[in-house]
Structure 1
Amino acid sequence: MRRVIVSLLGLLLAQTVCATELFGTVEAVSGEATVIDVTGTGKRITSGVQIFAGQSIQTAADGEVHIVTKDSGLIALRPNSNFRIDRYQAKGESSDEVVFSLLKGALRSITGWIAKSNASAYRLNTPTTTIGVRGTDHETTVIDIAVDDDQPGTFDTVNEGVTVIRTAQGEIEVHPGEHAFAPREAGVAPRLLAQRPGFMKRRALRIEERIQQRKEHLFQNVQHRLKERAGEPRDAPGDRKPGIKNRREEAKKKIEQRRPRERRNP
């Protein structure tokens, strides 16, 4: 009996410690969204609310939530989504990690300095896949019921960087401008799609434009942090690396170079 009590106390302590790890701060919210803590208690999300590891976020049909993470990343949750922060640590240590789950709906993830310094420390879980990254801006969607030509499963679109979608049947790399799909159907490997999923064309978002406004600032924060960790001096204002616009142009060139590969993988 004593051993059981000790085990329960240890579990409770672990949950408490997990819940005190700051994940990020809500920078923008539109519509209805709720944050649920490890005890199951929920409260309405407003701008400025802090989000901690161990908590979950649910958005309503009109809900969008933008979170700036402690490591200068950004998570943009779409309507009708269920998102959970499984583990998170951003202390500038080798044990830093980002592990979260998208159980339903969609999100856009712009990775911060944790993933950029150690890609293996980032993992996004969905009901059908595990997604890893290499310095990425990507969008993931989980569909439960077929809608038009979009079948149930996990979709991932890469804006910048690379993602790796893994299932029990195999894995596939997704590059800028590419769209991948891991079906819910058992025994089917993930694959690239020939075109953008239909739901992305129909998706209407109210505060998406804020991401581009914030992305350059977050990018500079990440670069500064990486230089600090490497013991390098910060860039002078005139010595900064190319910004978002130049990186987008480079990504477009890579997309055009990869078109033949995309057509071979319908």
Structure 2
Amino acid sequence: MSTAMPAAAKRVGTGATVRQTMTLAWRSLVQIKHNPWELLDLSIQPIMFLLLFTYVFGGAISGSTGDYLQFALPGLLVQNALFYTLSTAIGLNTDITKGVFDRLRSLPIARTAPLAGRIIADTFKQVWAFALLVGFGMILGFRVTTSVAGLAGALALLVVVSLAMAWLSVLIGLKAANPEKVQMIAFSTMMPLTFTSSALVPSQTFPGWLEAWSNVNPVTHLADAIRGLMIGGEVAQPAMISLLWALGFVVVFAPLAIRVFRNHA
């Protein structure tokens, strides 16, 4: 019986797969009710970074905290979105190490539903973090100088690219031995990417060799595109490059992650 269930799960129809995926996505969201610290972490950390960077470094970097806030908030949105992909990786790893996937695979459900459900749930959390950070930034004085459509476009682009880049975190989460190693490996990957980009400071201020890397860094192009959509500037080229990077992350890391996931399942 135990060996027949996974085989049956492969024959789940598209409609049933969607329903199962959404059910498991709801499960991940409902967990916040029982673990409110997750929502607090999702809410407090972005605000803490915004306050620290604006009022500690803003004057030194831009001459005034107001000018730096206008520059840095779009970059902080990018940084926060990419850092939050760590939560997806840690959550998947926790489900594996605690045997949740063993229980799910005994059910006649699509094998990809647990993975897709968590990713969808984390997308909703990304939208919450985006709205919270923009709203708090406006309280501090940030202004969207383009349009509502530009703001919506920034959110859409950020979600698409961060979800694509999340496949790297998902792969790490599936391969690592425990959540602590997931956090260490993924954080060590995301930290250099974000801090060697134009997300928080203009890349022209870097040494030549670092500026050269920053100019090809996917986080730089994403931050520039989000900045252009929210406060003005070039959008088409950095947005296109960001989408190409997103496609590359999906093509490279999604098949690897799905293969590892199926081996677990």
Q: TM-score range by the shorter chain?
A: under 0.3
Higher relative contact order (CA 8 A, sep 6+): 2
Q: Which has the higher helix share?
A: 2
Structure that is richer in strand per residue: 1
